[in-house]
Amino acid sequence: MSLALYRRYRPETFEEVVGQEHVTVPLQQALRNDRVHHAYLFSGPRGCGKTTSARILARCLNCERGPTPTPCGECRSCRDLARNGPGSIDVIEIDAASHGGVDDARELRERAHFAPAQSRYKIYIVDEAHMVTSAGFNALLKLVEEPPEHVKFIFATTEPDKVIGTIRSRTHHYPFRLVPPGVVRDYLAELCEKEGVTVEDGVLPLVVRAGGGSMRDTLSVLDQLIAGSGPEGVTYQLATALLGYTDDQLLDDIVNAFAARDGAAVFQVVDRVIEGGHDPRRFVADLLERFRDLVILAAVPDAAGKGLIDKPADQLDRMRDQAARFGLAELSRAADLINAGLAEMRGATAPRLQLELLCARVLLPAADDGSVLARLERLERRLSTGGAPPAVAAQHPPAAQLARQQAEPGGHPVSHQPAGWPPEDEPAGRLATRLTGQRAAGQLAGPATAEPPGPAAVDQAARPGGEAAAAPSPARPGTARPGSRPAAHWPAPAGDGETAVPARPTPVDEPAVPAAQPSGLDTLSVRRMWPQILEAVKHRRRFTWILLSQNAQIAGLDGTSLQVAFVNAGARDRFMSSGSDEILRRALIDVFGADWKIEALVDPAADPSRSPGPGDPGDRGPGPFRGGAPARTPPAGPRSPAGAARPAPAPAAQPGPAPDLAADDPEPPGSAGVAPAPRAVPVAPEEDVPSEDDPDADELGLSAHELLMRELGATIIEEYEND
Ligand SMILES: Nc1ncnc2c1ncn2[C@@H]1O[C@H](COP(=O)(O)OP(=O)(O)O)[C@@H](O)[C@H]1O
Ligand SMILES: [Mg+2]
Ligand SMILES: [Zn+2]
């Protein structure tokens, strides 16, 4: 009968204790310096060398040639305290789990006063010290505080916090740690060689993983594998079967199927998992581990060389290939889904079902937003029947760009959606991206600023095709806000843009920006994107975002420079002195891909929080806190150098409903409110003062925030989205 590995390989010197150098080195140094304390506390997870080290320390202390960091191994004490030695009567091990009571403590206290029989010191190793009762500790307190010259204490515990503070503070505390996988791995390889056992590639990582950083557990696992191995040694097959790990083959198969979006293959693997008697949860845990490895591989190509991944070379090649087929974003998304799925499976009564549903989620990119997906699929169908993609894409480079750069509110970068798609889906994919992006834009203009749909959304609403109209639809309940009244104002069921399509007349196809520059960008279109610009600014710097959203508006764009009007000089100066202009410049690059010079002006009329009642409706345009119909947006007064680009103020030219209402309505009667001609003549702010009964003053068009800001002068500092 052979002795367990962990007993045969119990270290006898500090050098043999692996992975705890942070403890063993200073301990040895203290011995070398002859600065030995009278009480030690060794803490740390189980099986990482605490008891072993306590014994080694005792051996070092009592060696005839000691105290020494390297016991001679020949003297009587050293032989007694060797691995298979009989033990020393002067080194007393107490298992506090069974002897932690006050009586045991008292007995220890009395005996401690007798001098050691044969050795230099009488050494008490109190194992599982956290099990000593507080009465027991109190009985020991005096002794631990001022022990006789010949007495040393070594407490070992997994829970140092449970050792009463008065004792702990009298000890030197050495925290042991779990042993890092790489260290365990090397140790195992060495040990297998000593044992003359052949172990197949890929087995040791499994053993390391099963051991979880505890050396004792790891050695037990290896022991069991060796015991069960035949003449060919420990095979991978034996290891996965015995340890219950999922065979890499199964993982390869399902990952490849995910990469190919081959649903049939995915569910066949699931079937094999179940038929093979594997626990679905175990499988999902292993799948998560695999995706973790793939994420690392995608980010760190040399992950194996750096010791981040421990896999046989051929397996590594396969995984590199898998990682490449996904791309980092998609991998990380899949990993998130699997992680969430694993949590859901805990305690689930139908784990197979859970596993299958999880696979379905991973298979469908961004399937977490069913409405987008549904729309996408419809679009694809339409494309395949020859329908041209709506003009949306062509008219909205900014939104498309936004889609590429901005994560959807749900947190999934939109950009990886098309990435995994087969090339023939490209047009649909691109279009979808734009739509999703616009939808995101709509949401950003909405919940992000808690306002009625931003100008972009309105603009899209007026677009042909209906899909865009559905873009800011209340697909998520969370996006519906008081100000937007979507249900009442979207004529077609907003959740389904498709049905609305045929009903939509084409005339609205007209570009909303008649005076667009060749680049397609003019003051108006930039203003329309103001919510997105602010959002991009917010990602870069909150301070700038607050400053801009509360004090500024776009005044004009003259091709190379963008004028931003601030309500007062203070705001402008803060903007400039804080380097916020640079933040805005970069945000504009983010959103438009255009590098404009930023000019900051002062224009009291630029106050974005100007209320519609007493304020100037003409100034309510592009501010972040309003649902700006593009029509009415002359923020800059005559002082603006770009004043010439200022569009007509709305009221006179606008037969339609109030702009805010227009903002809520995709198709206001008469599209003048949507696509007005900019007026070339600058208009003084005063001219825009509305009459008391101006329809613009309608408070129904105001969101809670606007009301708060208007009535109470509230300032938005930060906003959380709760979905
Ligand atoms: N750091 C280590 N280096 C080498 N072997 C270790 C280490 N830690 C634990 N072991 C192995 O695990 C066994 C149990 O270790 P032990 O010191 O009793 O752990 P614990 O920390 O639970 O007191 C030892 O006999 C030894 O074989
Ligand atoms: Mg122990
Ligand atoms: Zn010795």
Cβ(69)–Cβ(63) under 8 Å? no
Separation of 208 CA from ligand 1 center, angstroms? Answer: 15
Separation of 490 CA from ligand 2 center, angstroms? Answer: 70
The residues near 432 (Cβ < 8 Å, ≥ 6 apart) are 372, 375, 376, 379, 417, 418
Tell me which residue has tokens 């602010």. Answer: 534
pLDDT at 689 over 80: no
Quick one: which ligand is closest to 76's CA?
3
Average the pLDDT over each of 25-34, 194-203, 557-566, 694-703 and give the range with the smallest value.
Answer: 694-703
Distance CA 590, CA 404 (A): 10
- Beta pairing class for 561-566 and 91-95: unpaired
Distance CA 503, CA 505 (A): 6
Distance CA 77, CA 703 (A): 83
Quick one: which ligand is closest to 130's CA?
2
**DSSP β-bridge partners for residue 153:** 39, 124
Question: Of 664 and 570, which is predicted with more confidence?
Answer: 570
Residue 407 placed within a domain: no
Residue 516 placed within a domain: no
Distance CA 410, CA 424 (A): 27
Q: Is 11 in the pocket of ligand 1 (CB under 6 A)?
A: yes
Distance CA 6, CA 10 (A): 6
Q: Give the nearest ligand 1 atom to 46 CA.
A: 22
CATH number at residue 162: 3.40.50.300
Q: Is 211 in the pocket of ligand 1 (CB under 6 A)?
A: no
Residue 252 placed within a domain: yes
548 and 685 co-located in one domain? yes
Separation of 62 CA from ligand 3 center, angstroms? Answer: 7
CATH number at residue 216: 1.10.8.60
End of a domain among 363, 393, 417? 363
Quick one: which ligand is closest to 50's CA?
1
Separation of 157 CA from ligand 3 center, angstroms? Answer: 27
Residue 84 placed within a domain: yes
φ/ψ (deg, to 5) at 123: -115, 120
Average the pLDDT over each of 65-79, 247-261, 534-548, 619-633 and give the range with the smallest value.
Answer: 619-633
Mean pLDDT of the chain: 71
Separation of 129 CA from ligand 2 center, angstroms? Answer: 10
Cβ(523)–Cβ(557) under 8 Å? yes
Q: Is 651 in the pocket of ligand 1 (CB under 6 A)?
A: no
**Token pair for 614:** 């007493």
Q: Which helix (H) or strand (E) holds 174?
A: strand 172-175
Cβ(462)–Cβ(676) under 8 Å? no
Q: How many CB atoms lie within 10 A of CB 525?
A: 26
φ/ψ (deg, to 5) at 234: -85, 115
Distance CA 160, CA 566 (A): 60
Question: What would the pLDDT profile of 524-566 be if each residue is shown by its tens digit?
Answer: 778 878 888 888 888 888 888 888 888 888 888 887 888 999 8
Q: What is the mean pLDDT of residues 595-608?
A: 84
Ligand 1 pocket test target in 215, 217, 220, 223 with most atoms within 8 Å of CB: 215
End of a domain among 363, 393, 428? 363
Question: What would the pLDDT profile of 341-370 be if each residue is shown by its tens digit?
Answer: 998 888 778 888 999 999 999 888 654 454
Average the pLDDT over each of 198-207, 329-338, 712-721 and give the range with the smallest value.
Answer: 712-721
Residue 369 placed within a domain: no
Ligand 1 pocket test target in 5, 7, 8, 10 with most atoms within 8 Å of CB: 10
φ/ψ (deg, to 5) at 229: -85, 150
Cα→Cα distances 202→232, 309, 710, Å: 15, 12, 67
CATH number at residue 554: 3.30.300.180
Distance CA 95, CA 156 (A): 10
Angle between helical axes of 263-275 and 248-259 (0-180°, round to 10): 160
Tell me which residue has tokens 């279009």. Answer: 431
Q: Is 412 in the pocket of ligand 1 (CB under 6 A)?
A: no
Strand order of the β-sheet with 39-43 is: 91-95, 122-127, 151-157, 39-43, 172-175
Question: What would the pLDDT profile of 400-412 be if each residue is shown by its tens digit?
Answer: 343 444 433 443 3
CATH number at residue 356: 1.20.272.10
Separation of 4 CA from ligand 1 center, angstroms? Answer: 12
Side chain identity at residue 143, one-letter code: L
Q: What is the mean pLDDT of residues 248-272?
A: 91
Q: Is 703 in the pocket of ligand 1 (CB under 6 A)?
A: no
Distance CA 42, CA 137 (A): 16
Strand order of the β-sheet with 597-602 is: 552-557, 561-566, 597-602
Q: For residue 603, what pLDDT is reported?
A: 85
Q: For residue 385, what pLDDT is reported?
A: 55
Q: For residue 541, what pLDDT is reported?
A: 85
Quick one: which ligand is closest to 211's CA?
1
Separation of 70 CA from ligand 1 center, angstroms? Answer: 19
Q: Is 52 in the pocket of ligand 1 (CB under 6 A)?
A: yes
298 by Cβ neighbours in 10 Å (0-12 / 13-18 / 19+) ranks as buried
Q: For residue 558, what pLDDT is reported?
A: 83
Separation of 53 CA from ligand 1 center, angstroms? Answer: 8
Q: Is 47 in the pocket of ligand 1 (CB under 6 A)?
A: yes
Quick one: which ligand is closest to 73's CA?
3
Q: What percent of the chain has pLDDT over 70?
A: 62
Distance CA 488, CA 137 (A): 73
Q: For residue 350, what pLDDT is reported?
A: 85
Question: What would the pLDDT profile of 494-528 be if each residue is shown by its tens digit?
Answer: 333 333 333 333 333 333 433 334 456 778 778 87
DSSP state of 199: B
Banded pLDDT at 721 (limits 50, 70, 90): low
Q: Is 635 in the pocket of ligand 1 (CB under 6 A)?
A: no
Q: What is the SS3 assignment for 503?
A: coil
Q: Is 239 in the pocket of ligand 1 (CB under 6 A)?
A: no
Q: Is 60 in the pocket of ligand 1 (CB under 6 A)?
A: no
Q: How many CB atoms lie within 10 A of CB 488?
A: 9
Angle at alpha carbon of residue 671, lines to 666 and 675, rounded to 5°: 100
Q: Is 50 in the pocket of ligand 1 (CB under 6 A)?
A: yes
Q: Is 214 in the pocket of ligand 1 (CB under 6 A)?
A: no
Q: What is the mean pLDDT of residues 644-659?
A: 40
- Beta pairing class for 151-157 and 552-557: unpaired
Structurally, the chain folds into a number of domains equal to 4
Average the pLDDT over each of 42-46, 133-137, 212-216, 525-529 and give the range with the smallest value.
Answer: 525-529
Question: What would the pLDDT profile of 262-309 be if each residue is shown by its tens digit?
Answer: 999 999 999 988 888 888 898 999 999 999 999 999 988 888 888 888
Separation of 179 CA from ligand 2 center, angstroms? Answer: 15
190 and 170 co-located in one domain? no
Residue 507 placed within a domain: no
Q: What is the mean pLDDT of residues 697-713?
A: 50
Angle between helical axes of 426-443 and 397-405 (0-180°, round to 10): 90
Q: Is 254 in the pocket of ligand 1 (CB under 6 A)?
A: no
Q: For residue 454, what pLDDT is reported?
A: 38
Comparing CA positions, the residue from 323, 271, 326, 325 lying closest to residue 302 is 323
Q: What percent of the chain has pLDDT over 90?
A: 31
Distance CA 320, CA 115 (A): 65
Cα→Cα distances 579→526, 557, 575, Å: 21, 20, 7
DSSP output for 392-440: HHHH-HHHHHHHHHSBPTTS-BTTHHHHTS-GGGHHHHHHHHHHHHHHH
Residue 463 placed within a domain: no
528 and 569 co-located in one domain? yes
Tell me the Cα Rg of the chain.
Answer: 36
239 and 252 co-located in one domain? no
Q: Is 213 in the pocket of ligand 1 (CB under 6 A)?
A: no
25 and 88 co-located in one domain? yes
171 and 301 co-located in one domain? no
Question: Of 489 and 258, which is predicted with more confidence?
Answer: 258
Distance CA 290, CA 296 (A): 10
Cβ(338)–Cβ(362) under 8 Å? yes
Q: For residue 539, what pLDDT is reported?
A: 82
Q: Give the nearest ligand 1 atom to 7 CA.
A: 25
| Among protein residues, the one whose CA lies closest to atom 7 of ligand 1 | 49
| Among protein residues, the one whose CA lies closest to atom 16 of ligand 1 | 49
Banded pLDDT at 679 (limits 50, 70, 90): very low
58 and 171 co-located in one domain? yes
Q: Give the nearest ligand 1 atom to 52 CA.
A: 17
Distance CA 24, CA 138 (A): 30
Cβ(524)–Cβ(515) under 8 Å? yes
**DSSP β-bridge partners for residue 598:** 562
Q: For residue 609, what pLDDT is reported?
A: 63
169 and 95 co-located in one domain? yes
pLDDT at 442 over 50: no
Tell me which residue has tokens 């400039």. Answer: 576
Question: Of 655 and 182, which is predicted with more confidence?
Answer: 182
Most confident of 104-108, 189-193, 368-372, 623-627: 189-193
Residue 233 falls in which region: left (phi positive, over 0), alpha (psi -120 to 50) or beta: left
DSSP output for 435-492: HHHHHHHHHIIIIITTSSPPHHHHHHHTSTTSHHHHTT-TTSGGG--TTT-HHHH-SS
134 and 228 co-located in one domain? no
82 and 134 co-located in one domain? yes
Distance CA 533, CA 537 (A): 6
205 and 237 co-located in one domain? yes
Q: Is 219 in the pocket of ligand 1 (CB under 6 A)?
A: yes
Q: Which domain holds residue 594?
A: 523-712
| Maximum distance among all Cα pairs of the chain, rounded to whole angstroms | 109
pLDDT at 24 over 90: yes
Banded pLDDT at 646 (limits 50, 70, 90): very low
Q: Is 24 in the pocket of ligand 1 (CB under 6 A)?
A: no
Banded pLDDT at 375 (limits 50, 70, 90): low
Q: For residue 618, what pLDDT is reported?
A: 38
Q: Is 216 in the pocket of ligand 1 (CB under 6 A)?
A: yes
**Token pair for 309:** 């991944």
Q: Give the nearest ligand 1 atom to 5 CA.
A: 27
Q: Is 23 in the pocket of ligand 1 (CB under 6 A)?
A: no
pLDDT at 647 over 70: no
| Among protein residues, the one whose CA lies closest to atom 19 of ligand 1 | 47
120 and 185 co-located in one domain? no
Q: Is 566 in the pocket of ligand 1 (CB under 6 A)?
A: no
Q: What is the mean pLDDT of residues 469-486?
A: 37
Q: Give the nearest ligand 1 atom to 156 CA.
A: 23
End of a domain among 175, 193, 228? 175
Quick one: which ligand is closest to 63's CA?
3
Distance CA 293, CA 311 (A): 10
Q: Is 705 in the pocket of ligand 1 (CB under 6 A)?
A: no
Q: Is 527 in the pocket of ligand 1 (CB under 6 A)?
A: no
